[in-house]
């Protein structure tokens, strides 16, 4: 699969869907702006939810600065926040960059089993609400103006290194 470059690429997928793995196997680390990685920068670790506000403030600043320079920017968050998506899309348009939403179409059961195998699994009920939020987001993306690319599980090599975040 070939995506435009430079571009804004916004990942959309539940925890364990493979967002960070997909991004890490295709983009340089400086191109990937990850809320988990920024929680680790400003908090006690990638799971420090108390650091979310600070982490997202930084994320927005980094995304705006990179897009303002016309640089490829991969946003590694759940991708389910409609107002954040709107802002990123507007910034990409202002910079003349294509805006691509990459949906990790990983079955719920796969997300769940990967999640339970992790060191710090997301609680099952949280994953359930993430999966519902992703499904709702997917219904909106085309209408919002994104070029939507769906990634089937097989598109991600199983031996790809998992990126931080
Ligand atoms: N994984 C896998 N095979 C894939 C993709 C991911 O086995 N094709 C594994 C990764 O090695 C990792 C887990 O599944 O242990 C979650 O993948 P990750 O890319 O970290 O998922 P994210 O969507 O980034 O999850 P989160 O939202 O929690 O960051
Ligand atoms: Mg991740």
Average pLDDT, the chain: 94
CA of 120 to the centre of ligand 1 (A): 12
How far is it, in rounded angstroms, from Cα 59 to Cα 72?
A: 14
pLDDT 10s digits, 115-133: 999 999 999 999 999 999 9
Q: Which of 16, 123, 151, 153 to mutate to test the pocket of ligand 1 (most atoms within 8 A of CB)?
A: 16
**CA 104 / ligand 2 centre spacing (Å):** 11
pTM for the structure as a whole: 0.93
Specify the pLDDT at position 155: 63
Retrieve residue 121's tokens: 């699994």
**Residue 27 predicted with pLDDT over 80:** yes
- Give the ligand whose atoms come closest to the C-alpha of residue 106: 1
Band (pLDDT 50/70/90 cuts) for residue 153 is confident
Sign of CA dihedral 53, 55, 59, 65: positive
ipTM: 0.98
How much is the average pLDDT of 146-153? 94
Whether the CB-CB separation of 16 and 112 falls below 8 Å is answered with yes
Tell me how far apart the alpha carbons of residues 127 and 123 are, in angstroms, rounded to a whole number.
Answer: 6
- Statement: residue 107 has pLDDT above 80: yes
Taking CA atoms only, the protein residue closest to ligand 1 atom 28 is 15
């Amino acid at each position: 699969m070939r995506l435009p470059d430079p571009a804004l690429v916004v990942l959309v997928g539940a925890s364990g869907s493979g967002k960070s793995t997909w991004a890490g196997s295709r983009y340089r680390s400086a191109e990937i702006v990850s809320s988990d990685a920024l929680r680790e920068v400003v908090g006690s670790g990638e799971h420090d939810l108390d650091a979310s506000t600070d982490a997202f403030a930084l994320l927005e600043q980094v995304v705006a600065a990179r897009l303002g320079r016309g640089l490829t920017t991969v946003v590694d968050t759940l991708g389910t926040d409609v107002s954040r998506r709107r802002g990123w899309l507007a910034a990409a348009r202002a910079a003349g960059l294509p805006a691509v939403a990459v949906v990790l179409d990983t079955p719920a059961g796969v997300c769940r089993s990967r999640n339970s195998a992790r060191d710090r699994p997301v609680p099952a009920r949280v994953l359930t609400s993430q999966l519902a939020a992703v499904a709702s987001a997917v219904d909106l993306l085309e209408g919002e103006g994104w070029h939507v690319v769906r990634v089937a599980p097989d598109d991600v090599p199983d031996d790809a290194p998992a990126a931080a975040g």
